[in-house]
Structure 1
């Protein structure tokens, strides 16, 4: 990629040179560089300031690494200024209006990245400087630069980032060299998109300030992560594991696989936690919401494992262990018909409901024995018989364990999915450029 940049820059320079004889250009070069020193600021009045216009072209962003806090970009920066020592009259040199000279032979600004991963100077000795007759100089530099960015990872993988590339003239104070950005801030017409990050090409802005007493230009931009890959490889599998956590309460206790099943699910969530940590920077603030999401599912899984073990202890109790009314109430609660089927409550023959038939039979039997019985006495006797049936209901410890499993299954479904949906919706909806710093 760096070779393409060099070829592009060379093409710009060569294409701008007008056709003149070799001697014309050689004589002009000799004239210009006589008594010229590339180490001195090209101003007749050395107390003045040199203004440099910058225009940047972005052609690639091949790598974005939040773990290192670094962004790799391919850029070209064209610098234009007026060199008062490199001017001539075209008629004196066979109407030669421009000439290109190696950058090491003339003064060029040492453009440097002020937020680099490693020190980067956008200048090499082989590059050419295009010089016009009126002293206007155009110098295009470029390459692949690595610069740092403070990533705000709270809403990973739905995060949006605001980053900046900072440039300054190394070694020249603001009183000697200043920057300006005429026209478009950054040209993105040849930009090649990154597969993981969406770059908002219209978000480029610039600010000119100072750093260590030198003029600095800050190119800020915005980008958002394309989260579809992480939705398919992280979010959906974790949701599937959450569903498996609920299903542990449907496994028969006699199978002997409940505890091993729960431990396997717990280890799977721990693996996802490790994989996610590898994609995040190692800083404590802020804690990514996805971490809370995975840890919450891990806590639910551990809770399910503990409940399964305790419930197995209840399942294997013997009849010698006394059963409290609380356990019986749990069984009756799960056996209760919350939405009764009316067709089953209807009598199969004539004469009304089953309770009515029962009342009539009791009334007839008592009528034969004692003549007539009051309706209140009949109702009391029916109630007494119903209570007797309830007290003689046969409830075992296995019934209690199965009832607890049924309650825990529905509770885990609610506990797993409702908070998970809330966390994911919050992470995707709350992420905004305004929250990053």
Structure 2
């Protein structure tokens, strides 16, 4: 019986308190009495989880919990008159509350948690809600796969007059559940004013964690590049020179096409690996053309019998022997010229290959050190 009486009294106190607060609240008008003093809003955004970062489209999906605090002197009460109730849970639509908006997003944030507001007897209100945000990130792939991305997100308070509300304090915290298997995420936050709006800026810094698959994807690049110069170390008469050059060229074209599918669609920069692939493809194409030219030149010499066969010279006269020696000498000179041309081509491709390799190594090392190469 005593428990039933206590429960009934508690229900009555809470019911009376709700009626009292709802008669004093106004969902359309803020709590400030002096319009020259904006409402101070304390906001804490707890980053719960990075769900994904689509590298091709630049879409970043995060889950965040927004905690908002403000003061409304209209919603104060004497706890002693209402059964020592010091706080009350109500629905957001029953009182005025600041509307925190996130922009730089692809679609409106999704509320994935139940919103509620806690009113304390001293007039302090606390609102919590959990949202999922799909925001835009301008991907800079130049140091891929050792890249670091900067992705900003902006929060502001929606109001008909932005002079009436402002961020008094703005904090961003990282949840203990914040983990991602690809990106090491850090962020900075600071308030600023944009077009008379009080805006909180959150700048995400995402550094890619080195994985085996990323390193393994670079190995074919260097082996394909080496294959561009190997044909010129084979004998001029070797039948595999042309086939090796052609296979290397086609392999570079296929690898470059497949690699391009993993790169961002909307970006002003290209990956250093793409530049390397373009250079390697040009070198392999040049290698194929030069291998064809050298092979054709050597074949023409054979067809013209530049190297005459040395038969029995006892039956020949002195003039025939002299002509034969002269022909052999000219053939050797032409053969040496082809060899010199072959070596020059080899060193030209080698120098270009080394230059291309040094460029990509410098870019990837800077990227691995965490530099954002804009």
Q: Which of these residues, 326, 332, 342, is aligned with residue 395 of structure 1? A: 332
Tell me the secondary structure at the aligned position of residue 300 of structure 2: coil
The CA RMSD measured in Å over matched residues stands at: 3.2
Q: What is the alpha-carbon distance in structure 2 between the residues aligned to residue 48 and residue 318 of structure 1? A: 95
Q: Which of these residues, 138, 141, 154, is aligned with residue 150 of structure 1? A: 138
Tell me the secondary structure at the aligned position of residue 293 of structure 1: helix
Is 1:75 matched up with 2:64? yes
Aligned to 1:356: none
Tell me the secondary structure at the aligned position of residue 301 of structure 2: coil
Name stretches of at least 5 consecutive residues in structure 2 with no aligned partner: 1-8, 307-324
Which runs of structure 2 are paired with 1:41-56 in the superposition (5 Å)?
Answer: 41-45=30-34, 48-56=37-45
Q: Which of these residues, 187, 205, 208, is aligned with residue 173 of structure 2? A: 187
Q: CA deviation at 1:402?
A: 6.0
Report the count of equivalent residues: 345
Q: TM-score, normalised by structure 1?
A: 0.69
Is 1:427 matched up with 2:363? yes
Contact 2:141 2:263 in 1 (8 A): yes
Aligned to 2:285: 302
Q: What is the alpha-carbon distance in structure 1 between the residues aligned to residue 77 and residue 24 of structure 2? A: 14
Contact 1:127 1:141 in 2 (8 A): yes
Distance 1:216 1:433, change over 3 A: farther
Q: CA deviation at 1:94?
A: 0.9
Q: What is the alpha-carbon distance in structure 1 between the residues aligned to residue 301 and residue 147 of structure 2? A: 56
Distance 1:198 1:180, change over 3 A: same
Q: What is the alpha-carbon distance in structure 2 between the residues aligned to residue 319 and residue 152 of structure 1? A: 55
Q: CA deviation at 1:300?
A: 0.7
Contact 2:252 2:277 in 1 (8 A): yes
Name stretches of at least 5 consecutive residues in structure 1 with no aligned partner: 1-19, 324-387
Distance 1:281 1:262, change over 3 A: same
Tell me the secondary structure at the aligned position of residue 152 of structure 1: coil
Q: What is the alpha-carbon distance in structure 1 between the residues aligned to residue 373 and residue 336 of structure 2? A: 54
Is 1:223 matched up with 2:206? yes
Q: What is the alpha-carbon distance in structure 2 between the residues aligned to residue 294 and residue 394 of structure 1? A: 40
Distance 1:23 1:50, change over 3 A: same
Aligned to 2:191: 207
Aligned to 1:369: none
Is 1:237 matched up with 2:220? yes
Aligned to 2:5: none
Q: What is the alpha-carbon distance in structure 2 between the residues aligned to residue 122 and residue 48 of structure 1? A: 31
Larger radius of gyration: 1
Q: TM-score, normalised by structure 2?
A: 0.80
Q: What is the alpha-carbon distance in structure 1 between the residues aligned to residue 164 and residue 233 of structure 2? A: 78
Distance 1:321 1:283, change over 3 A: farther
Higher strand share: 2
Which runs of structure 2 are paired with 1:30-429 in the superposition (5 Å)?
Answer: 30-45=19-34, 48-120=37-109, 126-181=114-169, 185-200=171-186, 203-211=187-195, 213-229=196-212, 231-250=214-233, 256-283=239-266, 285-318=268-301, 321=304, 395=332, 405=342, 408-409=345-346, 412-416=349-353, 418-429=354-365
Distance 1:289 1:91, change over 3 A: same
Tell me the secondary structure at the aligned position of residue 77 of structure 2: coil
Q: CA deviation at 1:29?
A: 1.5
Contact 2:116 2:129 in 1 (8 A): no
Contact 1:269 1:294 in 2 (8 A): yes
Contact 2:276 2:357 in 1 (8 A): no
Tell me the secondary structure at the aligned position of residue 316 of structure 1: helix
Q: What is the alpha-carbon distance in structure 2 between the residues aligned to residue 276 and residue 305 of structure 1? A: 22
